[in-house]
């Protein structure tokens, strides 16, 4: 892993492939880490692409530069971190690909700074920008039960539970969200080491409280949040990938998110694949990126 100062963070990242290759930034989600892209990066390197895989705030060796900086996990912070990383690495334009939190960061930069994005691969929800104003309204019961962990994190019991049981809790989430993925303990432990970051609990708890309007955001991101509240459309070429065995965000029959994409757009549904799509189906994920070049 390398590191670079970018915005309010010292961001740890892995880099693969030739420096002059087409840049691709690969972004992990909760509760995963950069290991999700190990097989994807090999496939992209073989095709001459340059892959950059950062640890998000609160994960791995990424650290805040100042003790006073709020340990925010809000969506605007993730987008700002990604843009700052691109600036720090002097990457004027890249393909962005991600899932879960990482897909959210990729969608935000694609929506607000489309001149910096040559293509987008977004997994799960597809249009992964939160509508915080509407977050307090109940959804159908079969959707509500899948979000149990988010409601758990709204309580102090949930904060303590994440702190003292982080490996057991995250392992359970892996199993529930990817029921067909037969990962072994060594695979889980390689990623679980990233959850030992000293800011992991604070960032995760804030993320799941802020998105429901239960915690104030970092004022430094107020402008970005106000833009995201408008639910901006995404104009860049986009491929949305969804696993039909995703235990938290399964694809609906109707692609309701498609209306937010105004450029080239395609939805691909993968049979038997769960939430951690790049690690469960690296060939399909890499092929989606290659099809945007």
Give the DSSP per-residue string, 95-135.
Answer: EEEE-THHHHHHHHHHHH-GGGEEEEEEETTSS----GGGT
- The predicted pLDDT at position 62 comes to 99
Q: Return the number of other C-beta atoms located less than 10 Å from residue 92's C-beta.
A: 11
Average pLDDT score over residue span 231-258 = 97
**What is the model's pTM?**
0.97
Average pLDDT score over residue span 147-159 = 98
- The predicted pLDDT at position 264 comes to 97
- The predicted pLDDT at position 225 comes to 98
Q: Which domain holds residue 58?
A: 2-290
Share of the chain above pLDDT 70, in %: 100
Average pLDDT score over residue span 162-167 = 98
Tokens describing residue 264? 């080239």
- The predicted pLDDT at position 166 comes to 98
193 DSSP 8-state letter: G
CATH number at residue 263: 3.40.50.1820
- The predicted pLDDT at position 272 comes to 98
**Local confidence band at 6 (pLDDT 50, 70, 90 cut-offs):** very high
Average pLDDT score over residue span 43-48 = 98
**Local confidence band at 253 (pLDDT 50, 70, 90 cut-offs):** very high
Residues 6+ apart with CB under 8 A from 126: 240, 242, 255, 257, 258, 261, 267
Q: For the chain, what is the domain count?
A: 1
């Amino acid at each position: 892993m390398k590191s670079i100062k970018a915005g309010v963070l010292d961001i740890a990242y892995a880099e693969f492939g030739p420096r002059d290759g087409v840049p691709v930034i690969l972004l992990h989600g909760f509760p995963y880490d950069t290991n999700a892209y190990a097989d994807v990066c090999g496939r992209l390197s073989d095709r001459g692409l340059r892959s950059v895989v950062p640890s998000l705030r609160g994960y791995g060796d990424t650290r805040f530069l100042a003790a006073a900086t709020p340990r925010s996990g809000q969506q605007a912070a993730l987008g700002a971190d990604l843009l700052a990383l691109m600036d720090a690495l002097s990457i004027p334009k890249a393909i962005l690909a991600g899932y879960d939190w990482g897909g959210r960061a990729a969608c935000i930069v694609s929506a607000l700074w489309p001149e910096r994005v040559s293509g987008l691969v977004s997994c799960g929800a597809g249009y992964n920008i939160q509508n915080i104003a509407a977050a307090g309204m109940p959804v159908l019961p079969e959707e509500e039960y899948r979000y149990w962990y988010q409601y758990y994190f709204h309580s102090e019991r949930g904060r303590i539970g994440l702190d003292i049981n982080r490996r057991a809790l995250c392992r359970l989430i892996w199993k529930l969200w990817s029921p067909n993925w037969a990962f072994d303990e060594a695979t889980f432990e390689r990623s679980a080491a990233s959850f030992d970051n000293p800011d992991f609990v604070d960032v995760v708890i804030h993320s799941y409280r802020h998105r429901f309007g239960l915690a104030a955001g970092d004022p430094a991101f107020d402008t970005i949040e106000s833009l995201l509240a408008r639910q901006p459309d995404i104009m860049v070429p986009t491929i949305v990938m969804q696993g039909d065995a995703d235990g938290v965000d399964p694809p609906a029959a109707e692609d309701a998110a498609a209306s937010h994409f105004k450029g080239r757009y395609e939805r691909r549904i993968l049979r038997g694949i769960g939430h951690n799509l790049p690690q469960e189906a690296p060939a399909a994920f890499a092929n989606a990126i290659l099809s945007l070049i």
